[in-house]
Amino acid sequence: MAKKTIHTLEEIYPESAVAAQRERYEKSAEEFRSIFGDSEQLRYFSAPGRTEVGGNHTDHNHGKVLAASVNLDVIAVVEPTDDNNITIKSEGFPEDSVDISDLSVHENEKNSSAALIRGVAAGFKNNGLNIGGFRAYTTSNVMKGSGLSSSAAFEVLIGNILSGIYNAGGISAVKIAQIAQYAENEYFGKPSGLMDQMASSVGGFVAIDFKNTQAPIIENIPVDFSSYGHALCIIDTKADHADLTDEYAAIPREMKAIAGYFSAECLREISRADVILNMGILRQKYGDRAVLRALHFFEENERVDKLVHSLKHQHFDDFLSSINESGNSSYKYLQNIFAVSDYTHQAVGIALNVAEHALTRKGACRVHGGGFAGTIQAFVPQDILKSFIVDIEKVFGAGSCHVLSIRPVGGTEVQL
């Protein structure tokens, strides 16, 4: 097992935010007591949201990504129990109570937090790990539907609770991420890759190679965007992507169909040259969009290496150019900017246009995460940050532009 780690507030949050975060945890403990009664055994856990910097829709085909945990998280106040029930009251949502003596997939729970709870517990059990009951109060500032992976943060949170309480905190961040993905795929019903969970669980700014998903290669890339005079911004278009599961699912399905022509399970097992040499039959058999999405995969995989190289050698202008190239490829080839079934709604495209104009040929911007709705990402020079925010919020409303920082710690138990 991995070494048990408990982090302090000072290790997790920026110095300027520690006092506010301590108050947040203490208020959450008060909420727990008001719901569940007094307790002397309260423990605290946190899991961050994540931002994808490079590798748009590559992880589900065993590709490469560049991602980071961010300074927004879901936290939990937890008390162990002696029964088989996991009961969670999340701020603003109905209480979930899951009997973990039954770890079968419940079809009526698909797309619900109860499914994620049951799925993570099942993943622990399937891996020979200990599980047990607890009750918890959670609160989150990872905006739901923001592209910062609130669901992955919740899954990683549950994994860290089960690790901390019933496995002496010894389950590795990679194993927790793998179990979290299993819960989302098999129980929640969303065919996500592993990037979201891995970035939340591992923490920091990391390059991940998913060629072997059972043993991904993870490299920490120390970077401070403010040292380059830029801020990392996420723009929330306020567009709902709740009904877009089929659009997301089509991307890995089409990519894997191309791979399947070569008797491969995923695109990582073949090359761009294979696709080019068989272009005619692939277009006829699978359609042009599937071919374009495959070409995006190969080019985006190479682009992650370029992004990492640029950051390691402090070539920030090259980094920004590659970010713009990534966004261009997602728009033209991956085609995850809007849903063809609802072409009248193109909030992501609008956001990219407004951001490009506000950046005045500086910085960079691209679609963020899954796409089709939700958010875009922008690297904004500090000297135009205020005007950039004003321009964005004229269109998408107050509070739609979030300035983020990289969090150095992934999912963890917290010591107050």
Domain ranges of the chain: 9-221+407-414, 226-404
Average pLDDT for 198-210: 92
Q: Would you say residue 224 has pLDDT above 90?
A: no
pLDDT score at 373: 86
pLDDT score at 357: 98
Q: Would you say residue 19 has pLDDT above 90?
A: yes
Q: Would you say residue 386 has pLDDT above 60?
A: yes
3-state secondary structure of 346: coil
Average pLDDT for 347-365: 97
pLDDT score at 363: 97
Q: Would you say residue 367 has pLDDT above 90?
A: yes
Residue 366: exposure state from Cβ atoms within 10 A (0-12, 13-18, ≥19): buried
Q: Would you say residue 296 has pLDDT above 90?
A: yes
**Residue 235's Cα: distance from chain center in Å?**
15
Consecutive H or E run containing 323: helix 316-329
DSSP bridge partners of 209: 64, 217
pLDDT score at 403: 92
Residue type, 44: Y
Which range, of 14-18, 243-247, 384-388, averages the lowest pLDDT? 243-247
Average pLDDT for 361-371: 93
**CB atoms inside a 10 Å sphere around CB 369:** 25
pLDDT score at 156: 96
Average pLDDT for 163-189: 94
Q: 9-221+407-414 — its CATH code?
A: 3.30.230.10
In the predicted model, what is the mean pLDDT of the chain? 93
**CB atoms inside a 10 Å sphere around CB 115:** 24
DSSP code, position 228: G
Q: Please check whether the two domains, 9-221+407-414 and 226-404, share a CATH topology.
A: no
Residue with tokens 């925010």: 389
| CATH T-level fold of 226-404 | Alpha-Beta Plaits (3.30.70)
Average pLDDT for 91-114: 92
Greatest alpha-carbon pair distance for the chain in Å reads 68
pLDDT score at 244: 80
**What is the model's pTM?**
0.86
pLDDT in tens, 313-329: 999 999 999 999 999 99
* Half-sphere exposure at residue 113, Cβ-oriented, CA atoms within 13 angstroms: 21
Average pLDDT for 162-175: 95
Average pLDDT for 294-317: 97
- What percentage of the chain has pLDDT greater than the value 90? 80
3-state secondary structure of 409: coil
Whether residue 400 contacts residue 348, with contact meaning beta carbons closer than 8 Å, is answered with no
Average pLDDT for 222-243: 87
Q: Would you say residue 306 has pLDDT above 90?
A: yes
pLDDT score at 146: 52
